[in-house]
Structure formats: structure tokens, C-alpha cells
């Protein structure tokens, strides 16, 4: 958490506790544990010096290209791992709106934000369409960390492949399309949007983005770039993220 410490200082603090870490190439804010350790019991964690998150998930905040002072909306914030990373990249400056359908998740995020010293976050429960309408064309950056099949995290949850039903994937694809259509309206002209999932299925990823760009609202956006991460190649979670830019 760069609001409170640096990677080098944190590494030294953990080393004093006999917890060894390595730097991670192309990950400016990451340390990777050499061995499993219960880092949640350390004072460094209790004081908000770091959060625990898969390396693939840590790429998303940087991909959104946020700057201090912007208005940024995390539309599917959940308990807020990516929200907190965005807050530190924004240096606590500007407005960061964390939205979710579930109040319980936003309550967790509030506790984490307090520990992290992240105080530029506002919390909004999506309890009606008005919440989205109020923000229409108001945000510089929007993150849609969409609900997905979770097929990128099979390494951690191998039993999921036996539980997933084809109809669940069909339903989740419909939800993704709706979320992309609705939440993309928050991006102001000249702003940027990241659509991300922890899935490796093209139908949840590239094909969703491709379809969105043909819709009435999607025609306002241009495709900038995307990243596909496979667990078999990276050693971390499978992941997908696409950067779209709204035409000025």
C-alpha cells in the first residue's frame, strides 16, 4: 500500500519477521511470498501496509491508467481489492466511487479502506437504476470487474470445474453484456473503461467486448488493447482485461 509504505521498506519489515519475499517483474507494487505464511497476523498487515491479492488481479488498476484528481468509478467493487489499489495510485486525490449490489461487501471495504488510510472513496449501493443514471457521462475512468465463471482461478479452486453448469455460464454471459451496456454509460467523452474477468473463456472476454462495440452505446467506444493471462504460463490466476476509450 503505497499510501503508507514502499515495496523496499515492506520487504525489510517482513524479512525481520523471517517472511521472505521477492520482487515481481513488471509489477511495481507487488511482493511475492517465497513460502506460504500467515501474513494477516503481522502488525504490518494490521496497520494497512499491504493487502493480499493475486498478481494477475494487481495488473488491473494500473491498466486503467488513473491519475490523482480524477473521478474514477469501480462499478463491481465487492470487498474492494482493486478499489484500494486504485486509491493508492490516485494518491488519495480525486474521487473514487465504489459501487456494488451488496451493502455487506461495501461494509467490508470501508473497514479495509480505514486500515489502508484510503479516504478518497465514496460508497454507493446499486439499489436502483437511478444510481447509474446520476453518474452518466461523469467519470474519467470506469472499471467493470465483471461477474464471471471464475475459470481463471481453477488452480486455487479446482473443484469448481465439477460444479459449473452450462446454464450458469449462459446466464453469466447475459449479465456481463448487460453490465457492460449499462455501466459503460458512466464514462465521459474522452474517458477510459476497463472490462475485466477472472475467466479464460473467449465468450466471456474477447467476444463480449467485440459484441459490445457493435451496440448503439458501444459505437461510442474504440478498442485500445487487451491482455489475456493463462495460469499455465504465468503461474498466477487466469485473467482477461480490455481497455476501451470513449470517443471525445
Would you state the cell numbers that stand for residue 203, as one nine-digit string? 465468450
Pairing of strands 139-145, 71-74: parallel
Residue 242 pairs with which residues in a beta bridge? 195, 226
Q: Convert the pLDDT of each residue in 32-90 to its tens digit.
A: 999 999 999 999 999 999 999 999 999 999 999 999 999 999 999 998 999 999 999 99
DSSP-derived letter for residue 202 is G
CB 74 within 8 A of CB 98: yes
What pLDDT does residue 147 have?
87
As annotated, the active-site residues are: 198
Would you state the cell numbers that stand for residue 64, as one nine-digit string? 486503467
Q: Convert the pLDDT of each residue in 134-150 to its tens digit.
A: 999 999 999 999 988 77
User: By percentage, how much of the chain surpasses pLDDT 90?
Assistant: 81
**What architecture does CATH give domain 58-246?**
3-Layer(aba) Sandwich (3.40)
Would you state the cell numbers that stand for residue 78, as one nine-digit string? 465487492
Query: Which residues in the chain are classed under CATH 3.40.50.150?
Result: 58-246
DSSP-derived letter for residue 39 is G
pTM, entire model: 0.94
Pairing of strands 139-145, 187-197: parallel
Q: Which long-range contacts (CB under 8 A, 24 or more apart) does 128-132 make?
A: 129/182, 131/99, 132/182, 132/183, 132/185, 132/186
Q: Convert the pLDDT of each residue in 110-119 to its tens digit.
A: 999 999 999 9
DSSP-derived letter for residue 65 is T
Q: Give Cα separations from 197 to 172, 180, 194 (angstroms).
A: 11, 12, 10
What pLDDT does residue 136 have?
96
CB 187 within 8 A of CB 206: no
Amino acid at each position: 500500500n503505497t499510501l503508507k509504505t514502499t515495496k523496499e521498506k515492506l520487504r525489510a519489515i517482513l524479512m525481520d519477521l523471517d517472511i521472505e519475499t521477492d520482487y515481481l517483474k513488471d509489477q511495481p507494487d507487488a511482493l511475492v511470498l517465497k513460502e506460504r505464511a500467515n501474513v494477516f497476523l503481522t502488525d504490518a498487515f494490521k496497520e494497512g501496509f499491504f493487502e493480499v491479492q493475486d498478481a494477475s488481479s494487481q495488473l488491473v488498476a494500473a491498466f486503467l491508467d488513473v491519475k490523482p484528481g480524477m473521478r474514477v468509478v469501480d462499478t463491481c467493487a465487492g470487498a474492494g481489492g482493486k478499489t484500494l489499489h486504485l486509491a493508492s495510485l490516485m494518491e488519495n486525490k480525486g474521487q473514487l466511487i465504489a459501487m456494488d449490489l451488496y451493502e455487506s461487501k461495501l461494509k467490508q471495504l470501508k473497514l479495509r479502506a480505514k486500515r489502508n488510510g484510503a479516504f478518497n472513496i465514496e460508497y454507493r449501493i446499486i439499489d436502483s437504476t437511478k444510481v447509474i443514471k446520476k453518474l452518466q457521462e461523469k467519470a474519467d475512468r470506469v472499471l467493470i470487474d465483471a461477474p464471471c465463471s471464475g475459470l481463471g482461478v481453477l488452480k486455487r479452486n479446482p473443484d469448481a470445474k465439477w460444479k459449473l453448469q452450462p446454464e450458469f455460464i449462459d446466464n453469466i454471459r447475459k449479465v456481463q453484456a448487460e453490465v457492460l451496456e449499462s455501466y459503460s454509460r458512466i464514462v465521459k467523452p474522452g474517458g477510459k473503461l476497463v472490462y475485466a474477468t477472472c475467466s479464460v473463456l473467449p465468450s466471456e472476454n474477447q467476444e463480449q467486448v467485440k459484441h459490445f462495440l457493435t451496440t448503439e452505446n458501444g459505437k461510442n467506444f474504440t478498442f485500445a488493447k487487451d491482455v489475456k493471462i493463462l495460469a499455465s504460463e504465468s503461474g498466477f490466476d487466469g485473467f482477461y482485461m480490455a481497455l476501451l476509450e470513449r470517443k471525445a
